[in-house]
Amino acid sequence: MLREPDQHGWTRQVFSEPYRSSRDLVAAKMRRCGLEVHTDPAGNIVGVLRGSSPGAPALITGSHTDTVTGGGRFDGIVGVMGALELVRQLRENDITLTRDLIVVDFLGEESNDWGLSCLGSRSLAGELTAADLERRDGQGQRLGDRYDTFGLDPSAAISARWLRNTPLHSYVELHVEQGPVLERHETQIGVVTAIAGIERVLAMFLGRPDHAGTRPMDDRRDAMVAAARAVLAVQRIGCGAPLHGVATTTRLANGMASPNVVPGEVQMRAEFRSIDTEWLSLAKQQVVTDIVDEARSEGVDVEFDWTTDNEIVHSAPQIQDLAATSAEQSGLSWKAVPSGATHDAVHLARLCPMGMIFVPSRAGRSHCPDEWTDFADIAAGVQVLSATITALDAADSVSSA
Ligand code: GLV
Ligand code: MN
Ligand code: MN
């Protein structure tokens, strides 16, 4: 079972049975490609292709095979399968790299019910904490307990050091663009310049519950109305962003919803993304000011709880150059693009220089069943990944961004 049978589209969330099956399949495919395979303490599936120079700083590539609910077939999967195709081609052509090539199917990249993305790569970078394991999902289940029931040791996940203790040369990830830019520019390859930072907010609107039939309209403290105005404030700020800034309200919940009660308590979740640090910080300040002002006019108080899901991360210029040159040498058009989506590469960038290669997404659709990338475009992406990895294998060292 590689996806939830009762869900629309492709649903393979972290810790689910379809996810377990998909990881078994990935491990089997890695073995068939001749990789040495194991599940690491962070819960990642890791395959190693040995190079000719033991101890030389290793190359890493990979991505993820979990999906959002009702997702598609390409987000993440292209980076894992593309890496395996690269290994297959190297072996078919009797090419031995100097460096070890580590291929990883990272555990749970998508944001989950515990509100945490990139579990496996976060853990390898030393960014998964004991406090994270205490997070609870909507049913009250601890994240740490979910690791346990999936057969993973949560304490090993927060102290997984093997990659931090392995000399690393660089990380390159192939991924679908998930947006419309490449298709609009009729371009085959995206060379990623930076990955957007993500600031998330939980806003709690505290009004006053009252009888919905008797409380006059001019004497209400309606938390839902204040939250609705906040949704528009978030949208307004996103629309005012320079290129690449976005703002989205992702959830509204009435704490004590009753059909006949003026809402007294509403929770809202929203996120802001940009590759511009200054805009992100201004957007945070502006949204708080606007929401508080508008809530006040409804007689509603607001409390905010901000978390940084990830900071802005830049790709290593040298890897960008190598990917662009690889595209040109293969006769492929390319464009420098920022990534609005987050990726395991954000966390790998803590460990070594990082680069990403994008291939076009039809109509820019992603995180939905309509997600599609033409196979010819995926093949072109694998070709660029392969040429970039081969060039990095020969490069002495690469500086981070
Ligand atoms: C993951 O796909 C994200 O960008 O949230
Ligand atoms: Mn992805
Ligand atoms: Mn995704």
Q: Is-above-0.85 flag for pTM?
A: yes
Question: pLDDT-derived band of residue 244, with 50, 70 and 90 as boundaries?
Answer: confident
Ligand 1 mutation pick, 10, 110, 269, 313, max ligand atoms within 8 A of CB: 110
Q: Is the pLDDT of residue 354 over 90?
A: yes
- What rounded mean pLDDT belongs to the chain? 96
- Report the range of poorest mean pLDDT among 51-55, 123-127, 240-244, 247-251: 240-244
361 lines ligand 1 (CB under 6 A): no
pLDDT in tens, 128-147: 999 999 999 989 999 999 99
341 lines ligand 1 (CB under 6 A): yes
Q: How far is the CA of 382 from the centre of ligand 2 (A)?
A: 16
The pLDDT score that the predictor gives to residue 210 is 98
Q: Is the pLDDT of residue 3 over 80?
A: yes
342 lines ligand 1 (CB under 6 A): yes
pLDDT in tens, 165-199: 999 999 999 999 999 999 999 999 999 999 999 99
pLDDT in tens, 293-339: 999 999 999 999 999 989 999 999 999 999 999 999 999 999 999 99
Residue 366 alpha carbon, nearest atom of ligand 1: 2
Q: Average pLDDT for residues 24-32, to the nearest whole number?
A: 98
Q: Is the pLDDT of residue 1 over 80?
A: no
Distance, in Å, from the CA atom of 200 to the CA atom of 156, rounded to the nearest integer, reads 28
Nearest ligand, measured from the Cα of 72: 3
The pLDDT score that the predictor gives to residue 115 is 85
Q: Average pLDDT for residues 55-79, to the nearest whole number?
A: 97
Question: pLDDT-derived band of residue 265, with 50, 70 and 90 as boundaries?
Answer: very high
**What's the CATH fold of domain 10-195+312-394?**
Aminopeptidase (3.40.630)
Nearest ligand, measured from the Cα of 366: 3
Higher pLDDT, 257 or 81: 81
Domain positions in the chain: 10-195+312-394, 197-310
To the nearest whole percent, how much of the chain has pLDDT over 90? 93
Question: pLDDT-derived band of residue 45, with 50, 70 and 90 as boundaries?
Answer: very high
Q: How far is the CA of 342 from the centre of ligand 1 (A)?
A: 5
212 lines ligand 1 (CB under 6 A): no
The pLDDT score that the predictor gives to residue 241 is 92
Q: Average pLDDT for residues 372-401, to the nearest whole number?
A: 95
Q: Average pLDDT for residues 238-263, to the nearest whole number?
A: 93
CATH of the domain spanning 197-310, picked from 3.30.43.10, 3.40.50.300, 3.20.20.80, 3.30.70.360: 3.30.70.360
Question: pLDDT-derived band of residue 257, with 50, 70 and 90 as boundaries?
Answer: confident
Distance, in Å, from the CA atom of 365 to the CA atom of 373, rounded to the nearest integer, reads 10
The pLDDT score that the predictor gives to residue 256 is 84
